[in-house]
A and B are shown apart, each in its own frame.
Chain A
Amino acid sequence: MTDALWYFGRGSGLVALVLFTIVVALGIGARSGRPIPGAGSGTLLPRFAVNLLHRNAALLAAVFLGGHVVSLYFDPYAQLRFVDLVLPFAGQHRPFWLGLGTLALDMALAIVVTSLLRRRIGARAWRVVHWLAYLCWPIALLHGLQTGTDGGTWWLRAIACLCAAVVLAAVAWRLSPSFTRFPQRAKRRVPDHRAAVDGDRGSGTGRPRHGLAEVR
């Protein structure tokens, strides 16, 4: 029984990593606003479908992540206490690498919960938490490579390399100038809700001082 838990724990962790890799790639794809082209001049997946697929893959990945955490919690070999599920770096076996897993779990939880509740918390709070994904994924990858007993195997390394290549390519695309569908579009300004605009001396025909800080 405990063997089964151990195998399931490792397996589900790997599946979660692969799924989250797909989630990150789909998330970046969704952000690009581009549909996935199909055969000929058709569309395989329209924008809203990419968006939905990203969301559904994330929920599926979360399920496997949950399975990974729960099975290892009940596996005596893993020696996990409840505190290790929420507090990073407090574990008994390989505390640092395990702690990375806890950290990634905490972040993933925050991302999923804020996404489910985004109408309540508003666009800005949602976006700030969602950006944690870029931190969460590499931490999860490192955790996966070093925590379990499979770290040295060729197949784990191969899968990890493939996942890393996918994420790196997606991030590189995200940062490239051709990422946006409308490169000539002007950047909208989002009001900085912190500071008030102090009384201005007349700026004449210069740029108006609205007090808009961020440029998106």
Chain B
Amino acid sequence: MTNGLATMRGVQHRLLAEPAGAPLPELDRTQLIGLLREAGLTGRGGAGFPTWRKLEAVTVAPGGPVVVANGAEGEPASGKDGLLLAYHPDLVLDGLQLVARALGARSTHLYLPAAAAGPIRAVLDARRRAGRDPIAAVNPTIAPDAFIAGEESAVVAALSGRPAVPADKRVRVTRAGLGGAPTLVQNVETLAQIALIGRRGPGWFRSAGTAEEPGTFLATVSGAVAQPGVVEAGYGVPLGELIDAAGGATAPLQAVLIGGFHGGWVPARPDLPVSRAALAHYGTSPGAGIVIALPQGACGLIESARIASYLAGQVSGQCGPCINGLPRLADTLTDLAYRRAKPGLPAEVKRLTALVTGRGACRHPDGTARMIRSSLMTFDADVVAHLHGHCTQEAVRR
């Protein structure tokens, strides 16, 4: 498929079309890390960290690492991990085995929502009988239904039998995590991509996406679309193509939230490439591929305020600036959204976003602040209108 410089950036089926049961190569640590480095795979859980670097980090210390497949998917608007676990569990588990074998893992775990556990146990049993998990038995652990339950250190806490809340980052889990061992937490989609790369090679992987952001990703498209669901595409895919793959917009679109509740609002430009490079201009990134379409007529500030209130309720409550700042931020944004004009409202929102950023054990306040800042930017006309008691979408609704 590789054709010189041209890569497939549009909607396509790779992960979602991969047959189950294909053989897995046996790779050692150096081989796997080399493959992943060449492929340029980045984490599909939202942070987008280079996968080969993470693998390397857990192999610095002697003794095998702990490998965890993270399928918690705490974000309400995301469905890709659930889809993978329900319809392509073997691909995820193959990736897990590939990594565990290569790194000499001391234990492997699967962290997933309660609803997915039953079916997964059946899959694990079948694999065990067929001898597909020779190295490591996979221990499933239930993830609580909370937004931050999928955060890396929260995952380690849950696996240790503690509440699934983030821990202080002085010692990263890659250095000491579960039981003090270096712990590799990978999103289930990342593991599935690793299995594909192991089978088909980095060149094949790079034939999709862009040169700087290779490969495909799973997007969950929802909002004002006819068929909300999971769509696979190469990075750089035009936004309009993703919307069309989800059945097309049900109404003219006003804006799109990309990257989920911790992402950012962008104008509904069909030609806007969904890639880190293009979205950086709007202060956001593809994240875990969540795309929410906002139609004309809906108020972007009200939607943002709703999301902010939800996020404020999802704090673990351990950190002072977050448990105090996020509700205040949500309340202030809600005042602006419902046109309860007070002097200096937008400035106060901006001040609070700066106040909560970087002052917590995890990135929950940072992500919330980022989404809110982007809403003030993308819906700037509404900010002005609301301060005067109007909304730009009034005309549309009438």
Chain A contacts to B: CB under 8 angstroms? 185-186, 188-193, 195-203, 205, 207-212
Contacting residues, chain A, for B327 (C-beta < 8 A): 186
**Complex Cα–Cα for A210 and B166 (A):** 10
Contact with A193, one of B146, B162, B323 (Cβ below 8 angstroms): B162
- C-beta contact mask, B129-169 vs A, less than 8 Å → 1, else 0? 00000000000001011111100000001100111110000
Interface contact A197-B158, CB-CB below 8 Å:
yes
Contact with A202, one of B145, B313, B318 (Cβ below 8 angstroms): B145
- C-beta contact mask, B319-334 vs A, less than 8 Å → 1, else 0? 1100110010000000
Query: Contact residue range for chain B?
Result: 20 to 34
Contact with A198, one of B142, B147, B162, B165 (Cβ below 8 angstroms): B142
5 contacts between A and B (CB under 8 A): A196-B161, A197-B158, A201-B145, A202-B145, A205-B310
**Across the two chains, which residue of chain A brings its CB closest to B309?**
A205
> Which B293-324 residues have C-beta < 8 A from chain A?
310, 313-314, 316-320, 323-324
Contact with B164, one of A186, A203, A210 (Cβ below 8 angstroms): A210
* Shortest distance between the CB of A84 and any CB in chain B (Å): 44
A185-B324, A199-B114 given as contacts; is B313 within 8 A of A208 (CB)?
yes
**Complex Cα–Cα for A203 and B149 (A):** 13
* Shortest distance between the CB of A202 and any CB in chain B (Å): 5
Query: Is the C-beta of B115 less than 8 angstroms from some C-beta in chain A?
Result: yes
* Shortest distance between the CB of B308 and any CB in chain A (Å): 14
* Shortest distance between the CB of B157 and any CB in chain A (Å): 8
7 extra A-B contacts, CB within 8 A, seeds A208-B145, A211-B163, A212-B163: A200-B142, A201-B145, A208-B146, A208-B149, A208-B313, A209-B146, A212-B165
**Across the two chains, which residue of chain A brings its CB closest to B320?**
A188
* Shortest distance between the CB of B313 and any CB in chain A (Å): 7
**Complex Cα–Cα for A211 and B164 (A):** 8
* Shortest distance between the CB of A25 and any CB in chain B (Å): 27
Contact with B314, one of A190, A208, A212 (Cβ below 8 angstroms): A208
Interface contact B144-A210, CB-CB below 8 Å:
yes
The 10 tightest CB contacts between A and B, nearest first, are: A199-B142, A189-B317, A211-B163, A208-B146, A199-B114, A196-B161, A191-B163, A186-B323, A200-B145, A202-B145
